[in-house]
Amino acid sequence: MDAQNTIVINGNELPFTPGETILQVAQRNSIPIPTLCHLKNATPTGQCRICVVEVKGARSLVASCAAPAAKGMVVLTESPKVIEARRLVLQLMLSSGNHNCAVRVSDDQEWSRFQLDVNQYDQSNELCPVWGDCELQHLAYQYQVSAERFPRTDVPYPMEDINPFIVRDFSRCIKCGRCVQACNDVQVNNAISFGYRGTDTKIIAAEDKPLKNSECVFCGECVQACPVGALVEKNARYRVRPWETKQVRTTCSYCGVGCQLNLHVKEGKVVKVTGVEDVAPNYGSLCVKGRFGFDFINSEERLTTPLIKEDGEFRKASWEEALSLTAEKLGAIKQTDGPDAIGVLTSARVSNEDNYVANKFARAVLKTNNIDHCARL
Partner 1 sequence: MTNTIGDLEEADVILITGSNTSENHPVISSYIKRAVKFNGTQLIVVDPRRIKMTTFASHWLRQNLGTDVAWINGLMHVIIQEELHDKAFIDSRTKGFEELKAMVEKFTPEYVEEITGIPAQQLIDAARLYAGAKNAAIVYCMGITQHISGTDNVKSLANLAMLTGNLGNAGGGVNPLRGQNNVQGACDMGGLPNVFSGYQPVTSDAVIQKMEAAWGVTGLSNKVGLKVTEMIPKALEGELKALYIIGENPLVSDADLNHVVKGIDNLDFLVVQDIFMTETARAADVVLPSACFAEKDGTFSNTERRIQRVRKAVDSPGEARDDWWITTQIAKRMGVDMDYENAEAIMAEIAQVTPSYGGITYDRIDFEGLHWPCPTADHPGTPILHKGQFPIGRGNFHAIDFTPPAESTDEEYPLYLTTGRVIYHYHTGTMTRKSEGLNERVPENFVEISSKDAKAFGVSDGDTIEISSRRGKISAVAKVCTTAVSGTVFIPFHFAESAVNMLTSAALDPVSGIPEYKVCAVKLAAAQ
CB of 261 to ligand SF4, least distance (A): 7
Q: From partner 1, ligand SF4, none, which one binds at residue 306 (CB under 5 to 8 Å depending on kind)?
A: partner 1
Residues 31-70 that bind partner 1 (CB under 8 A): none
Name which of 259, 269, 266, 267 is nearest 224 in CA terms.
259
What does DSSP say about strands 231-233 and 166-168: parallel, antiparallel, or unpaired? antiparallel
Contacts with ligand SF4 in 274-303 (CB under 6 A)? 282, 286-287, 289-290
Q: Out of 207, 280, 311, 313, which residue is the one contacting partner 1 (CB under 8 A)?
A: 280
Residues in the interface with partner 1 (CB under 8 A) total: 108
Cα 303 to chain centroid, rounded: 31
Backbone torsion region of residue 212, taken as left when φ is above 0, otherwise alpha when ψ lies between -120 and 50, otherwise beta: alpha
Q: How far is the CB of 299 from ligand SF4 (least distance, A)?
A: 18
The three-state secondary structure class of 227 is coil
Q: Give the range of 1-9, 131-139, 140-148, 327-335 binding partner 1 by CB under 8 A.
A: 327-335
- Selected from 58, 70, 102, 297, the binder of partner 1 by CB under 8 A is 297
C-alpha distances in Å from residue 196, one per residue of 154, 169, 184, 193: 16, 17, 18, 10
C-alpha torsion 280→284→285→290, nearest 10: 90
Selection from ligand SF4, partner 1, none that 370 binds (CB < 5 to 8 A by kind) is: partner 1
| Per CB under 8 A, 106 contacts partner 1 | no
In the complex, minimum distance from the CB of residue 203 to ligand SF4, in angstroms, rounded to a whole number: 5
Burial 109-124 (b: 16+ CB within 10 A, else e): eeeeebbeebeebbee
Stretch 155-194: interaction string toward ligand SF4, x if CB under 6 A: ------------------xxxxxxx--xx---x-x-xx--
Please list every residue from 188 through 217 that binds ligand SF4, using CB under 6 A.
Answer: 189, 191-192, 203, 211, 216-217
Which C-beta is closer to partner 1: that of 157 or that of 294? 294
191 binds, among partner 1, ligand SF4, none (CB under 5 to 8 A by kind): ligand SF4
Report residue 353 CA to chain centroid gap. 30
252, 290 Cβ separation under 8 angstroms: yes
Please choose which of partner 1, ligand SF4, none residue 364 contacts, taking the beta carbon within 5 to 8 angstroms, the exact cut-off set by kind: partner 1
In whole angstroms, the minimum distance from the beta carbon of 206 to partner 1 comes to 15
Between the alpha carbon of residue 340 and those of residues 20, 33, 53, 330, 332, the distances in Å are 64, 67, 74, 11, 13
Residue 208 contact partner, candidates partner 1, ligand SF4, none, CB within 5 to 8 A by sort of partner: none
- Please, which residue, 197 or 309, has the CB nearer to ligand SF4? 197
DSSP notation for 188-200: ----EEEES-GGG
Q: Collapsing DSSP states into helix, strand and coil, what is residue 111?
A: helix
Contact flag: residue 222 with ligand SF4 (CB under 6 A) = yes
CB 73 within 8 A of CB 62: no
| CA–CA separation, 45 and 34 (whole Å) | 15
- Closest distance between ligand SF4 and the C-beta of residue 36, in Å? 8
Q: What does 84 bind: partner 1, ligand SF4, none (CB cut-off 5 to 8 Å by kind)?
A: none
Residue 66: helix, strand or coil by DSSP?
coil
In angstroms, rounded to a whole number, what is the distance separating the alpha carbons of residues 307 and 321? 10
Are 330 and 366 in contact, with CB atoms under 8 Å apart?
A: yes
Residues 150 to 209 in contact with partner 1, rule: CB under 8 A: 164-165, 185-188
Minimal distance, residue 158 CB to partner 1, in Å:
21
Give yes or no for a contact between 268 and 205, defined as CB atoms under 8 angstroms apart.
no
Q: Does 250 bind ligand SF4 (CB under 6 A)?
A: no
Is the Cβ of residue 14 or residue 44 nearer to ligand SF4 in the bound state?
Answer: 44
- The contact set with ligand SF4 (CB under 6 A) reads 173-179, 182-183, 187, 189, 191-192, 203, 211, 216-222, 225-226, 228, 230-231, 252, 254-255, 257-259, 282, 286-287, 289-290
